[in-house]
């Protein structure tokens, strides 16, 4: 019987995520943070390349403070709406059969609609809704990864550990026009846009990622992924629109676990998993002051994969189950200073859309036996 193959190629992004939670005002930024290709090593053999392109979209509009949604924001029409698009271009190269290098070049396009930034929400504000935008290159990521077990041997499992650097290549002081500004609300001003739509965060960071797979049966494959960005720079020196504090350079994290099911339909597989993404209130290295909206999202993630020995497509739609806008470092400081509990809000999406395509080339080993394939996992082996 013909053996069916499954692509070990998984998307996260952020974005936003970002991300990510990355799905809204909690700013996780696509491939610069959570990565669009957590399967980036893909068991490439020496001399092989994996070219990838990942697309991520979400619309955030539901406001949360802690776990509680502020339903009145939508009912009153005062919700902030972020439409965010991410395009992440990736290149992975097999230095050896176990050691690989990768690069992710991310681009973003954001549109943010609000009232409070343009004269204030009613009843005390003007209640005029306007839009600010941003676009361009985000923060790129370079890394190295290593598979802990020899891919040429039949283990039925493998795990890779990766280290990298996140570079501040994205603009982090992007500006646009804000309306109804000034004491009399009669001025239009060119000011920095909100942190959630800044293409970059201005910090240089260190990334750690762990990915792995485990064959459960001839039909099921378990995959796990973990990512953490250590952003050791505290702030980026850019003041927020109101000038009260500088933008923070926050840590970011993501984790994913799921199962692929071999449908037996010639390269088509189904995926179902869980995903956690977020921004912590306190960084693990360095200070945590500055303006940030920390929080996280827990999502269920259904998806589909289709692939040939060289070309593969991936589609997944994480659906948010839990959204939590936690207290930020500044919220906690102000709670102590003022003696009044302070807890900011953030807008989250209901779902996000991830789509990717990847192409493998080079190395001259595409005709090797299936049970030694560097890119595909053979359920029957």
Structural domains in the chain?
5-378 (2.40.128.130)
The pLDDT tens digits of the residues spanning 209-222 come to: 999 999 999 899 99
Which pLDDT score, from 0 to 100, does residue 44 have? 84
Q: Is the pLDDT of residue 373 over 80?
A: no
DSSP codes joined into one string, 119-144: T--TTTS----EEEEEEEE---EEEE
Q: Is 232 in a helix, a strand, or coil?
A: coil
Q: Is the pLDDT of residue 27 over 90?
A: no
Minimal CA–CA distance to 22: which of 203, 209, 205, 252?
252
The pLDDT tens digits of the residues spanning 173-193 come to: 999 999 999 999 999 999 999
The pLDDT > 90 percentage for the chain reads 79
The pLDDT tens digits of the residues spanning 222-246 come to: 999 999 999 999 999 999 999 999 9
Whole-prediction pTM: 0.88
Count other C-beta atoms under 10 Å from residue 321's C-beta.
11
Q: Is the pLDDT of residue 365 over 70?
A: no
State how far the Cα of 103 lies from the Cα of 92, in Å rounded to an integer: 7
Q: C-alpha distances in angstroms, 244 versus 50, 189, 238, 250, 291?
A: 45, 17, 11, 18, 9
CB 361 within 8 A of CB 308: no
Which pLDDT score, from 0 to 100, does residue 154 have? 72
Which pLDDT score, from 0 to 100, does residue 153 have? 83
Residue where the block lists tokens 């992975």: 92
């Amino acid at each position: 019987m013909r053996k069916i193959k499954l692509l070990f190629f998984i998307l996260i992004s952020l974005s936003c995520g970002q991300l990510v939670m990355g799905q809204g005002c909690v700013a996780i930024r696509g491939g610069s943070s959570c990565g669009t290709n957590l399967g980036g090593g893909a068991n490439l053999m020496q001399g092989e390349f994996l070219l990838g392109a990942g697309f991520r979209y979400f619309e955030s509009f539901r406001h949360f403070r802690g776990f509680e949604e502020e339903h009145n924001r939508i009912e009153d029409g005062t919700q902030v709406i972020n439409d965010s698009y991410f395009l992440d271009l990736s290149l992975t190269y097999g230095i050896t059969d176990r050691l690989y290098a990768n690069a992710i070049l991310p681009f973003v396009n954001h549109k943010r609609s609000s009232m409070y930034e343009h004269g204030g929400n009613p009843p005390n504000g003007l209640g005029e809704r306007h839009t600010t935008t941003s676009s361009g290159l985000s923060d790129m990521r370079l890394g190295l990864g290593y598979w802990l077990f020899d891919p040429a041997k039949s283990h039925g499992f493998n795990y890779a550990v990766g280290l990298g650097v996140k570079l501040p290549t994205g603009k982090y002081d992007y500006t646009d026009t804000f309306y109804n500004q000034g004491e009399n609300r009669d001025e239009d001003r060119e000011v920095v846009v909100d942190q959630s739509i800044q293409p970059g965060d201005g910090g240089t960071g260190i990334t750690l990622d762990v990915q792995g797979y485990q064959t459960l049966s001839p039909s099921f494959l378990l995959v796990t992924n973990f990512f953490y960005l250590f952003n050791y720079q505290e702030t980026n020196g850019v003041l927020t629109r109101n000038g009260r504090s500088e933008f923070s350079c926050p840590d970011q994290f993501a984790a994913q676990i799921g199962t692929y099911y071999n449908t037996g339909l010639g390269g088509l597989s189904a995926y179902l998993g869980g995903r956690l993404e977020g921004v912590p209130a306190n960084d693990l290295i360095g200070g945590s002051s500055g303006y940030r909206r920390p929080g996280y999202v827990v999502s269920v993630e259904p998806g589909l994969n289709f692939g040939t020995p060289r070309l593969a497509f991936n589609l997944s739609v994480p659906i948010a189950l839990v959204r939590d806008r936690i207290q930020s470092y500044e919220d906690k400081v102000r709670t102590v200073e003022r003696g009044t509990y302070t807890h900011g809000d953030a807008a989250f999406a209901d779902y996000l859309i991830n789509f990717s395509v990847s192409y493998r080339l080079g190395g001259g080993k595409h005709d090797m036996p299936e049970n030694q394939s560097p890119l595909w996992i053979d359920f029957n082996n």
